[in-house]
Amino acid sequence: MAEQYREDVPDLDRRRDRAARALGLVPAGLPSEATVLARLVELSRGPVAEACRVIGYEGDPFAPLFVPAPDHT
């Protein structure tokens, strides 16, 4: 999926690096995509997700992007 996105945004790495520098970050020190996605999933299931719910125009919260994985124990 990342490769498909990069086809649509071929200068994604340049944009990422420019944004990092604007935030005072060193682009080479940024975490990998896998690390970032794992952290996003982790945060989406905790108290941060509840505090950052997006509410629609009619007052109902949008469905979460990530749902808890089924418990296979």
Lowest mean pLDDT among 17-21, 26-30, 58-62: 58-62
> Phi and psi at residue 29, in whole multiples of 5°?
-90, 0
pLDDT of residue 67: 66
- Measure the N-to-C terminal CA separation of the chain; round to a whole number of Å: 30
User: Mean pLDDT of all residues in the chain?
Assistant: 83
- Looking at the whole model, is its pTM more than 0.75? no
pLDDT value, residue 71: 61
pLDDT digits (tens, 9 = 90+) for 48-72: 777 777 788 898 888 776 666 666 5
Q: What is the mean pLDDT of residues 28-52?
A: 83
